Amino acid sequence: MTDRPRGPDHSLHLHQETGARHSHDHGHHHGRERGGRRLITALIILGSFTLIEAVGGYFANSIALLAEAAHMLADSASLLLAVIAVRAARRPADARRTYGHRRYQPLAAFVNGQLLLLLTVWVVYEAVRRLLQAPVVNGPLMLAIAVLGGVANLAALLALSGGHSLNERSARAHVMSDLLGSAAASVAAIIILLTGWTLADPLLSLLISALILRSAWAITRESADVLLEGVPAGFDVTHIEAELRGHVPGLIGVHHVHVWTITGERPTVTLHANLARGTAHGDALSAIHVRLRERLNVEHATVQIEEEGPCQTPECGPHG
Q: For 94-111, what is each residue's pLDDT tens digit?
A: 788 777 777 877 887 788
For residue 130, count other CB atoms closer than 10 A to its CB: 21
Confidence class of residue 246 from pLDDT cuts 50, 70 and 90?
Answer: confident
Whether 268 contacts 301, CB under 8 Å: yes
Q: Which of 26-30, 221-225, 226-230, 279-283 has the lowest mean pLDDT?
A: 26-30
pLDDT of residue 310: 67
Considering the chain, what percentage of its residues have pLDDT values greater than 90?
A: 18
Q: Which helix (H) or strand (E) holds 21?
A: helix 6-60
The answer on pLDDT for 21 being more than 60 is no
pLDDT, residue 290, reads 92
pLDDT tens by residue, 273-319: 999 988 899 999 999 999 999 988 898 899 999 987 666 666 665 54
- Spatial distance between the Cα atoms of 247 and 250, rounded to a whole number of angstroms: 9
As a whole number of angstroms, the distance between CA 308 and CA 316 comes to 15
Is residue 73 within 8 A of residue 53, CB to CB? The reply is: no
pLDDT tens-place string over residues 135-158: 788 999 999 999 998 998 898 888
More confident call, 41 vs 215: 41
pLDDT-derived band at 1 (thresholds 50, 70, 90) equals very low
pLDDT of residue 311: 66
Name which of 110, 90, 109 is nearest 100 in CA terms. Answer: 90
SS3 of 282-294: the string is HHHHHHHHHHHHH
Strand order in the sheet with 251-261: 251-261, 267-275, 300-307
Could you tell me which residue, 63 or 7, shows the higher pLDDT?
63
Mean pLDDT of 174-197: 87
